Structure 1
Amino acid sequence: MSAEVHDTRTCEVSLVEARAEVERILSDPRFHATERQRAILRYLAERRFSGREEGAKAYSIALDVLGRASNFDASNDPIVRIEVSRLRSSVENFYQAFGAERHVTIHIPKGTYVTLFLRSRVPYEHDEEDVALPDNAPVDPAAEGRAAVSPSGRPLMIHAGMALLLCAAIAACVVIYASKPTLTVRPSVGLSMDAVDARMQGEASQTRDMLLTALTQFQTLTVEKAGYAGVRAQKAAGRAYEIDMKYYGDGDARSVWWQIVDRQSGDLLKSGLETISIDGKSPAAVRQEIADVLARRFAATRGAINNIETHANSVEAIGNACVLRAEYQLDDGGSDNMAAVRSCLERTLAAYPNYSDADALLARVLIAPEGAAGDATVRARALDLANRAVSIAPMSDRAYVALMMTQFADGRVDAALQAGNRAISINPNNPDAVAKLSSVLFSAGYFDAGVAMAQDAARAVDIVPRDAMLVLALDAYRRGDWSEASLLAEQVNCTDFVVRALRVAALGQLGSDQAKERLADVRGRDPDFERTLRQKLEARGFQPVLSAEIEAGLAKAGAVFAFSDVTSAVSP
């Protein structure tokens, strides 16, 4: 379904009416809001009146209205989000209790710091109440052939025309919102965990609570609290799943058997068994490890539930389905479907402008193609989208991963590492975030730290994230373990130029007969690769010594470079 972009301002009132409504609500003693909330409302309204339709940033509100210092950090201080949320509730409660006297209502959409001034209902032109004539009223013969006149003296045909125009205006406003394509949302899940041995039910309950917290950190699922599954299932627009678990234990291990069931159909979708060795660990540490492993298994990008969601939705769907497809495409590393993914994200944002996940993924998609990071215009837009995602959702690891990748592409290594560490602090169990940070660390020359994080990203997942696999392959090559590098490079689930170059370089260092054949394939895909490789590796942030080592392996496979330092690259 294609998304048609509409201008919602056609449903908004005039500037004069909007200003009058702001003054009315602020002066009304029935409007229960604190002074700082009133100040925020006036601040947002004035920005709207001055033409800044994008609203305000949390940072601006903190400094301009709340008097915070210039080092204010919205990710650590939620004061703006809290105050705006309370203001939004006060405004909604006021209109619900007392209505809109001037047919104007103020709206502060969730997830934004912007005011909208919408017409609550269309007012009629006449001031007098229309009076219906009795059925037996005499007919004035002189009136025949003339336009009928209303009691107020206006021709009824004029009233009818006005009514039609007003109905058309109302219908236009309805169409603006009704024409938005259906938004797919995050799936909801209910959890249950019972101990096979009743004496271990306490352990099982504590493990379930830890798992609930870990799943909530992912923000890819809507996790239902105990006792609310039925209510949430009725309200949720997305799919709903039940995760049923059995807790087992013996002397030296703890195990959890699990199954995922489609709540609507009752179909069993997937099941598995996780076992954790005690090995002298504390009981709390064992329970936390089980929860972490299960959270990755269920809620990671390539986890069980998101894998089901990705393949269950139509390719025309926008929203969460689009975000998941983008994450899959980015992890695959190819460019075949990148244009379709980008279009899907653009359509999502056109229909739902404050969708932070779509902002974050579009930022990453923009800089993903070869050479895109070298375009200053592309980098600027990607950075703007990533910063917007963080502003809308300051507790989203997806938003901070996008900020990390866009900052690194822009050459801001320290800022990128700070954003990456923030993503990990928000959700330490997200293997995709860990893998992305490992890639940035390794490319920036922090080899040991990058490898350690890549190994962590590969823990307890069905499919190791592409970036983690690539870091491990590059590290094996850097250490001179050509066989391991070749094996790992072949396992990387993508075919971008770095992976292709690494595969040929490892074979070249091994003196394999396949090296020349692989080199010919690389040249066939990119005839200029020998001339542009160094530039591409630099654009990826690779350290010069690593780039030189890769070029040395390619030279042994038969590649010819114009750089004089290639042949002098030191091989272990």
Structure 2
Amino acid sequence: MTSAGINRVTTSQEEVQQQLERILSSREFRLPERARRFLEFVVTETLEGRRDYLKAFTIAQAVFGRDANFDAQQDPCVRIEAGRLRRELEHYYLTAGDADRIIITIPKGGYAPVFDVVSGAEPTDRSALEKSDRPGSSGDDNGQITTAADTIGREQADRRFWPGRYWLLAAGAVIVLASAAALLRQVGLPSAERETTSGADNRPTIIVERFESVSDGSLASDISRGMTDDIIEKLVRFNDIVVVTDMPRNKYGEASSRPLYALQGSVRIEGSKLRSTARLVRRADAAVIWASDYDADMKVQGIPKTQASLAGDIATAVARPFGVMFQTDTAAIAGSADALSCVLSYYSYRSEMTMQAHEVAKSCLQQAVKKMPADSNIVALLSLIHLDEFRFSYQLHTKSTAATLSLAKELAEQAVRLDPRNARALQALMLANFFDNDPAGALSAGAAAYASNPNDTEVAGEYGLRLSMSGKWDQGCTLISEAVGKNAGPRGYYEVGMALCAFMRGDTQAAELWSRMSDLNYNPMHRLVLLSILGTLGKKQEAAEQLDWIRREAPALMPNIRQEVARRLARTEDQKRFLSGIEAAGLSVQ
């Protein structure tokens, strides 16, 4: 007889509970507190006969603290954590649990665990191992499972588990294959949960070394291990880089010669204070190219949230667009026709915002897409650079035609089809939809991009801008503020968003301050924002200076001001407020 997924003939709820405790207390079970709660929750619910309720929605609420608005399609946290948990269970049963009698696995396709027993073994004689995706167990999208003992006879089970070394080698092969795939994956989701695409070998590669514990005690050791795991989990969401845990080598066994960095760090506990030091090292010459300290009080959020927060800050600082990994060694790499060169060219262009830099990056990306048509990230960047010809037309001296916008949108849609969870592809689709007068589609894509990688400051900042300009100022301005606080984007780019936020809430003095902190030469539209603010403040002399600059440097903007404002501000009342400031500055808007 079976109950709650257990073969009652050979095991009991008590034995499964003891096995759960054994796993959670093992040093070889290396996941942070959240993953431990995940495993404990699904095992307990299954033992209580509630396996049918183990859906992404219920797990997200019970384990991750999500509210009733949780959408598994937009927020993949449960799916990602389940993948990590499956891999860590495999590791446990290859190491400390190689002789355990009770085997706990979570088959793909659901979140309900399977409990199996090494056939013929007594409770004190644990001698074999079974893989998580063995043919004797099954799972579906509804979380329903059957055990091996329910589906195969005792004689068949004896053959499957004899000799135990066969399954040990088989499970080991799964780990080896997963590790090999990790070296090739294009970042975004853990390798076990997605197919790789071409071009990943040409991206900046970073090795994450385990953070050291410089304080005594098991707590510091656990936090250092958890910090390392959390940093890896957050870094792999950045599609512009490749994250590895060992030196990548070519088919001849030689170390790769492409740019390679190592992320190193340490953890120190002083009372309730947690301090982490991180540094990025260039492997070629051991030069430290970036380093920083991070401090937090664990009493405020608790250990798991503090640990995750610091890991997010470190991952963002290292891998954010326009950050340190896209500024180092640019001169030595630029000029080659590979994906890395094109990515660097793109970020260099966005920082300079010149016609020449635009053409160099565009040409490089066009060639790269021909070589690597299945690379979602390269296609997304090509979409963005075409879109810039539409939205930055007065700076790049291009024509903002419907054909240009249509091409950018087609490329964005193609990038999303290639990888539906690529944050950069979803960012491109968000912007294309926004400028195509589809704010609903833009915000849907933006929400998906942000859910895919909330630590990507470029995604967060652009999503915040689109939310704000669509009329959701409170929500959008919060994201813009966070992006500015993390040094997002090209210098001065998101500061103009902060100026608009202050302007729309009526704080025109703060709006002027933010506007002057922005890069006014980045885009003539930035000057237009300052012009409206100055007009509202009644500073006509200073407004006249900005108006003269626009007439002299961007004359093509003058007859199209109303049209350009309408493209960016979705609500009529926001458009009126903005245009009112321009007219107060002395310019009659056509």
Asked if these proteins are the same fold (TM beyond 0.5), I'd say yes
Deviation at 1:281, TM superposition (A): 1.4
The CA distance in 2 between the partners of 1:293 and 1:470, in whole Å, is: 24
Select 1:359's aligned residue among 370, 379, 396: 379
Q: Judge conservation of contact 1:364–1:382 (CA < 8 Å) in 2.
A: yes
Report how far residue 310 of structure 1 moved: 4.0
Distance in 1 between residues matched to 2:404 and 2:210, nearest whole Å = 46
Deviations 1:326-358 (Å, cap 9, x if unpaired)?
Answer: 245346655552222211111111232222212
**1:334–1:434 CA distance, 2 compared to 1 (3 A):** farther
Aligned to 1:569: none
Q: 1:230 to 1:340 in 2, by over 3 A?
A: closer
Distance in structure 2 (CA, Å) of the matches to 1:183 and 1:203:
31
Aligned to 1:229: 247
Say which SS state the counterpart of residue 189 (structure 1) adopts. Answer: strand
- The alignment's C-alpha RMSD in Å is 3.5
User: Which of these residues, 210, 227, 244, is aligned with residue 192 of structure 1?
Assistant: 210
Map residues 483-498 of structure 1 onto 2, 5 A cutoff: 483-493=509-519, 495-498=522-525
Output aligned runs, 1:33-112, within 5 Å.
none
1:216 equivalent in alignment to 2:236: yes
Output aligned runs, 1:145-544, within 5 Å.
184-199=202-217, 200-225=220-245, 228-229=246-247, 231=249, 234=254, 236=256, 238-308=258-328, 310-330=330-350, 335=355, 337-369=357-389, 370=392, 375-461=401-487, 468-493=494-519, 495-512=522-539, 513-544=541-572
Determine helix, strand or coil for the equivalent of 1:458: helix
Q: Distance in 1 between matches of 2:377 and 2:308?
A: 28
Cα separation, partners in 2 of 1:201 and 1:270, compared to 1, 3 Å: same
Distance in 1 of aligned mates of 2:214 and 2:266: 6
Q: Which segments of 5 or more consecutive residues in structure 1 lack a partner in the other structure?
A: 1-72, 83-109, 112-180, 563-572
Q: CA deviation at 1:276?
A: 2.2
Q: Which amino acid aligns with 2:580?
A: A
Q: Deviations over 1:181-207 (max 9, x none)?
A: 998433232323112113212211111
Instruction: Note if contact 2:515-2:529 (Cα within 8 Å) is conserved in structure 1.
Output: yes
**Paired residues, number:** 394
- For 1:503 and 1:332, the matched residues in 2 are separated by 21
| Identical counterparts, % of pairs | 20
Where does the alignment leave 5 or more consecutive residues of structure 2 unmatched? 1-72, 81-107, 109-184, 187-198
The answer on 1:551 being equivalent to 2:571 is no
What displacement does 1:318 show?
A: 3.5
Q: Distance in 1 between matches of 2:443 and 2:399?
A: 18
- What displacement does 1:309 show? 5.0
The answer as to whether partners of 2:427 and 2:449 remain within 8 angstroms in 1 is: yes
Give the CA deviation at 1:416. Answer: 1.5
User: What is the rounded CA distance, in whole Å, between the counterparts of 1:395 and 1:446 in structure 2?
Assistant: 24
Please report the TM-score for the alignment, with normalisation by the length of structure 1.
0.62
Instruction: State which structure, 1 or 2, has the greater radius of gyration over its C-alpha atoms.
Output: 1
Q: 1 CA distance for matches of 2:327 and 2:278?
A: 16
Q: Residue deviations 1:506-540, cap 9 Å, x none?
A: 22233333221121111112235342101112223
Distance 1:198 1:219 in 2: 37
Q: Secondary structure at the match of 1:337?
A: helix
Query: Tell me, what secondary structure is at the counterpart of 1:280?
Result: helix
The two structures have a TM-score, normalised by structure 2, of 0.61
- Displacement of 1:481 in angstroms is 1.7
Q: Deviation at 1:551?
A: 2.2
SS of the equivalent of 1:429 reads: coil
- For residues 481 and 333 of structure 1, the distance between their equivalents in structure 2, rounded to whole angstroms, comes to 30
Q: Is the 8 A contact 2:427 2:459 kept in 1?
A: yes
Alignment partners' CA distance in 2, 1:290 and 1:234? 35
In structure 2, give the amino acid aligned to 1:489: S
SS of the aligned residue for 1:499 comes to helix
> What SS is found at the alignment partner of 1:325?
helix
Q: Distance in 2 between matches of 1:238 and 1:74?
A: 34
Amino acid at match of 1:393: D
